[in-house]
């Protein structure tokens, strides 16, 4: 059964590619109001395309760009597939080698690539799933399980309509599991299912001392300098081993399971190449932890911005009235953002000398997400991916946060399998975006295998 | 002899005031090219005024605004008197209660004040010395000693022509001692001669890590964060007692002599009022040192500016490629700026982890100035000031740097007595600048007494 679907995918690849090209020609830039009609057109195109192989789909209005929602009934697990049809702006246009919305298949030394805005992020990835479903339907007359399609048109502009839409349509959209195709291959070569997403806690601190900027000649010595207080407080956030000193910070930070550690080892992460790509040679951070472990499964505390006093050309001997910093924590496991925020604030307050005050600004918080990989679909999908790519697939972590997965968990109570086929050099959000034909072709085949495996 | 001069000063105060008003009416703003002619006029006015009581004076061209140089021969010590005839710009004009260049004598609850731009800084102060000389000449037909007058027209715009002029005219201008009237009364009430000026060393450091800004989700953990490195290095510049940790920093820092300590104690410095005026309640800085001692005679290390990463509204989880800080040191005694610069740089370099580099920018250096107060003129002047103000006068320090004193020392080999009668509320450089009539009147009398005392 699966073999017939895979054969059809191979046979009809040119037609699949033509459809993707048609979608790529629609300039659905969500942040620019000038392209609002193009966003409508892209949604219409998707509704028609789903309908063309029997999916009841419709365009659903939001205060912003529309959602596309489609349903197909079936036996077995109920899956929700999410992708987004909007794309990033194209400027600087002069850095493109071709019209971003006149896509083409190009030969490159590394193979054939589909060049154009949205080729990888996310129209190409979105269509891998649609094409897999189309091939399945063509061969079997129906899909192997119940599927809900949800395509968003505002992902590149902060998804303002998404949460209200999920809340208003929770009953309709709730499924057993979400499939999200907006990520990449591990090191551009190995398939992975992201099952751990770090949480994020943002704080801004403003330390104030004198009630005005002072001259360091007149006041330097007896007057407290808020920059000095700030640097001292921030320097105290890590110990000599690179561990965060905030009391209770490591509560809820799990050690990696031997199974997951073995999967990650098998990925043969090229730490030297990863760091070397940005001009670094040695992992910093927590002593005794590998680079991959630190990115995927260890919490961090970072200073993302700092400013105080005179920062222009030349020199001014000012003792400023205030100094500011933005500090973020990446969270894992069951670390409690609220408790960490309080402990952080208490630590900063305790570091204040006389005459200094501190003001805190809350820049949001989200807990880490850990998918319940004991759901059999996860192992099934992992096996399917390994089969297609002929290389071990891992349950991977992700150092950043992917908000959609958190929304699905919080609002619809479902875990997500984040699977994607993008490569590191796809230049998403940049000029000359591309998607490898291999990513597209094997991506479609991967979804066919996954649909087969999870429906058994 | 002196009494007759003082009596004449009292009798002719209205005329002295009229002359000051005439000078204040000339809008000699040196930074604004639109007022270049006014600067010429002010210089011409001073040449004519000196000539009116027998001083051979002339306007001397520079690449900028002219100098006024006058000479009068005589017995005894050769004094050089320095003042500046240029003034600060007047904006924001709408905050002035009157035309800045239409000066007037105003009654205020605290007494009569001369209101107008330059009243205190520095035309009023400059004229205290000129009027003292005029009264002396009127009573005696000559001055009590040899005097050189040097009036500058670029002090408020950084004195670009001063050093070349001093170098080119060193023989002509060299005297036994310089008198500089551009400072104020101690706490607006007690006369003081500034004999110690702190030096200044400026450094800018740029710490770099990754070769581009990174996303803290993707790289946070194994990637070094230059802001973290910077805050840690800066936090290490002071120990828990507030002392600077740079090796050798305190070499050449003298303890206060018992005599000077006694003079400063007698000043009854209002540390609580000084700090309270800027919203502080406790002296910070070195443990066990008084506020006045810290400002006048202790070295400091201050961070005057810091910047790195994202500092705008909201939040970005960036790991920046670089972070910067501006650091200055106030120096005393015989501290060696070059040695301290090297030791500071070595300390910062030693704090760098792998993959970080540092770039240093030299923002200048000057040693501390200590006047040779064993020259008898210093004690003579101190006695004269105490006599006039009926309160002890002290050899004081100054936390800031007054470049002219350093230039006189370096280029002409002479020490300076910095004596002035400004008050803290004179609003120099600000709208509604004023000079108390008391400052003007007793300032003139003070110079008469000083001329008498140092010439004996």
- Mention every residue, 6+ apart, whose C-beta is less than 8 A from residue B442: B388, B389, B421
pLDDT at A401 over 80: no
Compute the average pLDDT of residues A422-439. 94
Chain A, nearest residue to B397 by Cα: A218
Q: How far apart are CA A26 and CA B285, in angstroms?
A: 64
Give the one of A216, A225, A235 whose C-beta lies nearest to B235's C-beta: A235
User: Distances from the Cα of B267 to the Cαs of B189, B262, B323, B401, B426, in angstroms?
Assistant: 10, 9, 44, 21, 21
For residue A225, the chain B residues in CB contact (below 8 A) are 284, 302-303
What are the residue ranges in chain B where pLDDT is below 70? none
> What is the per-residue pLDDT for B400?
80
Q: Say if the Cβ atoms of B304 and A298 lie within 8 Å.
A: no
Instruction: For Cα atoms B422, B424, B426, give the angle at the middle one, nearest 5 degrees.
Output: 65
Confidence band, pLDDT 50/70/90 cuts, at residue A217: confident
Q: Say if the Cβ atoms of A280 and B317 lie within 8 Å.
A: no
Instruction: For Cα atoms A250, A253, A254, give the angle at the middle one, nearest 5 degrees.
Output: 145
> What is the per-residue pLDDT for B432?
95
Angle between helices A2-11 and A123-140 (to 10 degrees): 120
Compute the average pLDDT of residues A124-134. 98
Q: Say if the Cβ atoms of B278 and A400 lie within 8 Å.
A: no
Q: How far apart are CA B222 and CA A271, in angstroms?
A: 9
Instruction: Give the mutation candidate from B196, B273, B298, B305 for the A interface (greatest A CB count, under 10 A).
Output: B305
Domain ranges of chain A: 2-197+368-455, 199-253+299-364
Nearest-CA distance B284 → chain A (Å): 5
* Residue B273 in tokens: 């009022």
pLDDT at A363 over 90: yes
pLDDT tens track for B267-323: 999 999 999 999 999 999 999 999 999 999 999 999 999 999 999 998 888 999 999
Nearest-CA distance A395 → chain B (Å): 17
Q: Say if the Cβ atoms of B304 and A324 lie within 8 Å.
A: no
Chain A, nearest residue to B352 by Cα: A284
B2-197+369-455 matches B199-253+299-366 in fold: no
Nearest-CA distance B133 → chain A (Å): 32
Give the one of B212, B302, B354 whose C-beta lies nearest to A220's C-beta: B302
Q: Say if the Cβ atoms of A216 and B304 lie within 8 Å.
A: yes
Strand boundaries in A292-443, DSSP class E = 300-309, 318-319, 322-331, 357-366, 369-370, 394-398, 415-418, 434-436
* Residue A284 in tokens: 């910093």
pLDDT tens track for A187-197: 999 999 999 99
> What is the per-residue pLDDT for A76?
87
Instruction: State chain A's mean pLDDT as an integer.
Output: 95
Q: How far apart are CA B417 and CA B394, in angstroms?
A: 12
Instruction: Give the mutation candidate from A208, A209, A221, A223 for the B interface (greatest B CB count, under 10 A).
Output: A221
* Cα atoms in the 13 Å half-sphere on the side-chain side of A392: 12
Q: Say if the Cβ atoms of A311 and B317 lie within 8 Å.
A: no
Nearest-CA distance B354 → chain A (Å): 7
Chain B, nearest residue to A288 by Cα: B222
For residue B218, the chain A residues in CB contact (below 8 A) are 295, 399-400
DSSP per-residue codes, A66-125? PEEEEEE--SS-EEEEEEE--B----SGGG-SS-TTS-EEEEETTEEEEESTTTTTTHHH
Residue labelled with tokens 């073999």: A3
- CATH entry 3.30.70.360 includes domain A199-253+299-364: yes
Q: How far apart are CA B149 and CA A149, in angstroms?
A: 90
Centre a 10 Å sphere on the Cβ of residue B382 and count the other Cβ atoms it contains.
24
C-alpha torsion B71→B72→B76→B81, nearest 10: -50
Q: Say if the Cβ atoms of B363 and A315 lie within 8 Å.
A: yes
Residue labelled with tokens 């010595």: A221
CB B161 within 8 A of CB B168: no
Chain A, nearest residue to B224 by Cα: A284
Chain A, nearest residue to B212 by Cα: A278
- CATH entry 2.60.40.10 includes domain A2-197+368-455: no
H or E stretch including B142? none
Confidence band, pLDDT 50/70/90 cuts, at residue A216: confident
Q: Say if the Cβ atoms of A209 and B280 lie within 8 Å.
A: yes
pLDDT at A163 over 80: yes
- Domain B199-253+299-366 sits in CATH at 3.30.70.360
> What are the two backbone dihedrals, phi and then psi, of residue B341, each rounded to the nearest 5 degrees?
-60, -45
State the ipTM, two decimals. 0.88
For residue A424, the chain B residues in CB contact (below 8 A) are none
Q: Say if the Cβ atoms of B315 and A308 lie within 8 Å.
A: no
Centre a 10 Å sphere on the Cβ of residue A33 and count the other Cβ atoms it contains.
9
> What is the per-residue pLDDT for B218?
87
pLDDT tens track for A38-59: 999 999 999 999 999 999 999 9
Class for the domain spanning B2-197+369-455: alpha beta
- Mention every residue, 6+ apart, whose C-beta is less than 8 A from residue A398: A183, A194, A196, A197, A198, A296, A418, B217
> What is the per-residue pLDDT for A402?
82
């Amino acid at each position: 059964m699966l073999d017939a679907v895979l054969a059809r995918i191979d046979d009809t690849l040119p037609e699949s590619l033509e459809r993707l090209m048609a979608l790529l020609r629609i300039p659905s830039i969500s942040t620019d109001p000038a392209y609002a009609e193009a966003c409508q057109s892209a949604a219409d195109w998707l509704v028609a395309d789903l309908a063309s192989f029997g999916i009841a789909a419709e365009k659903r209005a939001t205060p912003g760009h529309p959602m596309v929602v489609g349903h197909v009934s079936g036996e077995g697990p109920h899956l929700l597939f999410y992708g987004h049809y909007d794309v990033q702006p194209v400027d600087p246009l002069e850095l493109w080698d071709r019209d971003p919305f006149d896509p083409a298949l190009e030969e490159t030394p590394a193979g054939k690539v589909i060049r154009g805005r949205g080729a990888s992020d996310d129209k190409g990835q979105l269509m891998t799933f649609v094409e897999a479903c189309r091939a399945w339907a063509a061969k079997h007359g129906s899909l192997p399980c119940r599927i809900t399609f949800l395509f968003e048109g505002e992902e590149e502009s902060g998804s303002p309509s998404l949460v209200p839409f999920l809340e208003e349509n929770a009953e309709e959209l709730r499924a057993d599991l979400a499939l999200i195709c907006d990520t990449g291959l591990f090191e551009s070569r190995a398939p992975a299912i992201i099952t751990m997403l770090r949480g994020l806690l943002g704080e801004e601190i403003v330390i104030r001392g004198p009630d005005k900027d002072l001259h360091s000649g007149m006041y330097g010595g007896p007057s407290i300098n808020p920059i000095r207080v700030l640097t001292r407080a921030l320097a105290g956030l890590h110990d000599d081993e690179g561990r965060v000193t905030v009391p209770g910070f490591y509560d809820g930070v799990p050690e990696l399971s031997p199974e997951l550690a073995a999967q990650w080892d098998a990925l043969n992460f090229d730490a030297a190449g990863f760091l070397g790509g940005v001009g670094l040679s040695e992992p910093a951070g927590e002593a005794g932890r590998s680079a991959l472990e630190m990115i995927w499964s260890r919490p961090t505390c970072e200073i993302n911005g700092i400013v105080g006093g005179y920062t222009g050309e030349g020199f001014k001997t000012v003792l400023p009235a205030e100094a500011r910093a933005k500090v973020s924590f990446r969270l894992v496991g069951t670390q409690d953002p609220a408790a960490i925020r309080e402990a952080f604030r208490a630590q900063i307050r305790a570091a204040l000398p006389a005459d200094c005050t501190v003001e805190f600004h809350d820049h949001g918080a989200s807990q880490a997400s850990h998918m319940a990989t004991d759901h059999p679909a996860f192992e099934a999908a992992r096996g399917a991916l390994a089969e297609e790519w002929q290389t071990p697939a891992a349950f991977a972590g992700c150092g950043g946060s992917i908000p959609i997965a958190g929304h699905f968990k919080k609002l619809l109570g479902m875990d997500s399998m984040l699977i994607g086929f993008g490569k590191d050099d796809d230049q998403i959000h940049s000029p000359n975006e591309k998607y490898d034909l291999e990513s597209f072709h094997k991506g479609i085949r991967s979804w066919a295998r996954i649909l087969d495996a999870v429906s058994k």
